[in-house]
Structure 1
Amino acid sequence: MDFYFYLVFTLSYLILLIVGFVKRREKNIMSFTVFLYLVIVGLTVDNAIIAFGKWIGTGSLLESLHLFRYWIHALITPTLLLFCLGLLQKSGKKYFSTARAVWITLMCTCVLILIEIITVVAVIELKPVMEYGILHYVPVKEHVGSILMIIMVSLILLVTGFLLYIFTSWKWMLVGTIIMGIGSALPIKVDSTAFTNALELVLMISLVATDITFSNKKQ
């Protein structure tokens, strides 16, 4: 059953990419908000690898593909901080367009990437697991660095969503982030490996909707 969930997630992210680029009138690739679509590309690859794992089969190829998933997570997920800065710049508050704000965000993004690489990707050991019809490779043990990065990115998304609501009354980024946070924190027992991925999809939908709305506003 989980195969169909991950297949739906993969197709949904492809649709989000198309909708995002078609609906947003701003085509400036220098805008920090375009990093959202880099993250969505990563999530598309991530879910596709999980979905088709059992057809690839246990072995070095599938293990390498799953290691690639962790590299994607380490290198791309922290760029959501840059996406958040891009949104705040579009909110009309001049401070977020200053060189100081840009450099602080860039440094924080690089620090999170380095933490993830050093504490997780560089030392990770993977083992094959078959769950609910899905064959995937998971870490032999959990790594604190990954949890730290997720917490920091989630906090920045939450703060950005709150600021956008205060500045502009736009609530959907805040709602999507809260749903993701509550769903991940509550001890909900679900007979599936796809629950967190479903929450991620809800979050990404809210972020794409936010990007489209602010990219189409007249500055």
Structure 2
Amino acid sequence: MTSSRIEPSARNLPVQKRAREKYELILRETCALLEESGFVGLSTREIARRADCNIATIYRYFGGVNDIVKALGEPFFTGISELFDHMSARLAEGEPLESAFEFFIQSFTSELAQNQWALHAEAGILTDKELIAWNSQFLEKIEKRLTGVLAIAGIERSTAELELISFRLVRHWKTYMRTLVEYDNLDEAKWLQKDTVKTSLALVEAPLT
């Protein structure tokens, strides 16, 4: 997964350099606000103030706060997909599923350490109907990718069963992600990383009843 503070979505990315810099600044200031005060502190007025622009500029590039969050989420999904690609390659070479999970959780946590806005955005998404619907679609895409990874791992289950396992794993990892918000230093959560790997394996092996 490419580590970076931000990789803007190209959906509304301006062509001109100055406009593009302003677009990226808006996204960076949104990330900073999320890290400082959480989702409740997010508003187009405050983002515009921090980015030194008027609110009309925000709406020129985005439809509002929700669209900014979605723009941040798109490259985040791309990063997770890259991790799944690496997991698939490792599993195809015969690496145990436990090692693949360790790689994923460690890499995912490292990315979150550099992009802690995602932790706060995740908590706020649950309070907005539009973002709840968007988040559901986001999770479905992740589950679909993960189902393919589990198939490569050679887990002897039907496709429907692998889809259910993926559903459970993604929800489990979301819980892990929410728990990380409680830590000022993610290095202190290494025990939680190890525990999440163990419980993830347990979910794969658990009865699907």
TM-score by length of 2: 0.32
Structure having the larger proportion of residues in strand: 1
TM-score by length of 1: 0.31
Higher relative contact order (CA 8 A, sep 6+): 1
